[in-house]
């Protein structure tokens, strides 16, 4: 598997980011290896908080939370998914299957032998991370999910709805960024797959995704500085480095028969028997995952009987908009449970 590696100078002098890198080599599934990066901060004997980011961000997203959590004696591990941050970036869009990401991060987890993990996942960090949780339950102590999910297609979706999505993705012009945002914000609850299809198509077909601009546009509560926007762009020197950003939305199983549907259903069976502490901490204004916490609260035994905080504002990337609040929620949950 051909991979690209972002030059180290791209990560120098980023605002709020001076953490030394840690690297792990994992099998790429084709006879080679991938280098996965992670941040490791806080006391070595502190409880581990594993913070997993999503698309198209990287571990930089957790910088506000790292200091807040380590100051309370916790050890924060924040990896970069393959294709993001300081991790290697496979060069083909087709390399970024859901299963590949799960396999790569599982290999990373096992090689580092992290245990007693308190998992925090947002966006794709939840999709991939909850698969890791389900396959390595003995390594996990608690779960906190924020603006994420573990999607499986609606089994009752009609053939007509499925055909409509496929026709849109295959034949319609690439939506402009403003059109994509409008479709997501407007979203029809009767056909939510169409709003998400705009996101899938925009990412897949936009050669040079404006990563920093997009992240900044999905934050509520603070405006990113130009330097912070540039930090989100830092892992991607040119469009060839952005294949993961472009590919991953199309790997979300939204239609009957999509890859990873069976694997996600198997992970849900594990979660439906999960009695360890489980907490949802969703923003109240995320158009992407609005109401997503209900699936967990209603199905995961470890979530029953808990007060699940609804964070006011923050947007989709609530680690930016409400990072201090989310860090406090995580730390208090660990202390109380």
Q: Is the dihedral of CA 224, 225, 229, 231 positive or negative?
A: negative
Tell me which of 28, 80, 88, 286 is the catalytic residue.
286
CB within 8 Å of 67: residues ≥ 6 apart? none
φ, ψ of residue 125 in degrees (nearest 5): -60, -30
Catalytic status, residue 170 = no
Name the packing angle between helices 124-135 and 98-112 (round to 10°): 60
Q: How far apart are CA 6 and CA 49, in angstroms?
A: 26
- Beta strand 3-4 pairing with 89-90: antiparallel
- Token pair listed for 128: 């991939």
Task: Return the half-sphere exposure (C-beta side, CA atoms, 13 A cut-off) of residue 277.
Answer: 19
Closest listed residue to residue 57, CA positions, set 19, 83, 24: 83
Tell me which of 28, 95, 123, 220 is the catalytic residue.
123
CB within 8 Å of 51: residues ≥ 6 apart? 59, 62, 65, 66, 76, 77, 78, 120, 125
DSSP character string of 176-226 = PHHHHHHHHHH--TTSHHHHHHHHHHHHHH-TT--HHHHHHHTB-SSPPPH
Q: Within 10 A of 251 (CB to CB), how many other CB atoms are there?
A: 20
Q: How far apart are CA 96 and CA 262, in angstroms?
A: 18
Q: How far apart are CA 123 and CA 149, in angstroms?
A: 7
Catalytic status, residue 40 = no
- Beta strand 33-41 pairing with 22-27: antiparallel
| Residues carrying an active site annotation | 123, 286, 316
């Amino acid at each position: 598997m051909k991979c690209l590696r972002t030059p180290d100078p791209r990560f120098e002098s980023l605002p709020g980011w001076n953490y030394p890198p840690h690297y792990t080599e994992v099998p790429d599934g084709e006879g080679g290896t991938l280098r996965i990066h992670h941040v490791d901060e806080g006391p070595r004997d502190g409880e581990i908080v594993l913070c997993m980011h999503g698309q198209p961000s990287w571990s930089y997203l957790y910088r506000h939370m790292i200091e807040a959590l380590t100051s309370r004696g916790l050890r924060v591990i924040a990896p970069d998914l393959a294709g993001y941050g300081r991790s290697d970036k496979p060069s083909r869009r087709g390399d970024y299957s859901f299963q590949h990401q799960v396999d790569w991060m599982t290999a990373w987890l096992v090689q580092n032998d992290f245990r007693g993990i308190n998992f925090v996942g947002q966006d794709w960090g939840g999709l991939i991370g909850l698969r890791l949780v389900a396959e390595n339950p003995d390594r996990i102590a608690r779960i906190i999910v924020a603006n994420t999910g573990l999607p499986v297609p609606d089994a009752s979706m009609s053939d007509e709805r499925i055909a409509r999505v496929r026709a849109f993705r295959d034949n319609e012009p690439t939506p402009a960024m403003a059109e994509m945002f409008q479709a997501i914000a407007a979203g029809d609850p009767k056909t939510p797959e169409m709003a998400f299809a705009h996101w899938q198509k925009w990412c897949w077909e936009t050669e040079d995704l404006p990563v920093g601009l997009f992240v900044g546009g999905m934050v509520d509560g603070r405006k990113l500085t130009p330097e912070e926007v540039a930090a989100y762009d830092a892992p991607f020197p040119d469009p060839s480095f952005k294949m993961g950003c472009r590919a991953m939305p199309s790997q979300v199983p939204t239609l009957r028969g999509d890859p990873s549907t069976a694997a996600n259903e198997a992970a849900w069976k594990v979660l439906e028997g999960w009695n360890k502490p489980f907490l949802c901490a969703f923003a109240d204004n995320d158009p992407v995952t609005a109401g997503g916490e209900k699936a967990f609260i209603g199905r995961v035994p470890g979530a029953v009987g808990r007060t699940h905080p609804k964070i006011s504002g923050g947007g989709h990337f609530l680690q930016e908009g409400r990072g201090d609040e989310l860090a406090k929620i995580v730390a208090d949950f660990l202390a109380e449970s």
